[in-house]
Structures are given as structure tokens and as C-alpha cells.
Amino acid sequence: MTEIPHSRPPRERPRKRRRPWLRTVLGIGLLAFAFLLGIAFAQTLDERPERGDLVTDVRTLTPLEQQPPARTVTVTVTRP
């Protein structure tokens, strides 16, 4: 068997355009987002209430009335 030569050359893939500015803009955007998130977190920590004096609450609990236990019946069954 002989191979038939191709009449046209194989197609080359078109090169993808690289957009370096897009990566730069996305990187700057992510850094800005992380920075703003850090600021928000720091403000949250600063605005939480401070601990006050220790307060102890004492109260007496009264027990509830207890009902007497239910009557127990034992049944023995024998088979003749």
C-alpha cells in the first residue's frame, strides 16, 4: 500500500491572544477586595462591646410537687 500525499498542509491552531492587562486588572481587583475585607474585619473587632463588671444573679428554685408512683401490678400466667 502506498500513502496518498495530502494536497493541503495541516491546519495550525490560531494563537490565542494574550491579554496581560486583563490579568493585571484582575490581580489589582483581588488585592483591593482583600484589603477592604481586612478593613471591615478590623472595624468589626474594634466595635464589639467591651466586657463590663461581673454580675451574679442568685435565685432560689422551689421544687415542683411530685406525684406518687403509679401502682405496679404483677401478673403471672401459667399454661395448663
Q: What is the pLDDT of residues 39-64, one digit of tens each?
A: 999 999 888 877 778 888 999 999 88
What is the average pLDDT across 15-32?
88
Q: What is the pLDDT of residue 38?
A: 96
Q: What angle do CA 37, 38, 41 make, to 5 degrees?
A: 85
Q: What is the pLDDT of residue 49?
A: 76
- Tell me the pLDDT tens digit for each residue of 4-13: 666 666 777 7
d(C-alpha 28, C-alpha 34), whole Å: 10
Residue with cell 473587632: 45
Q: Which DSSP helix (H) or strand (E) runs through 25?
A: helix 20-47
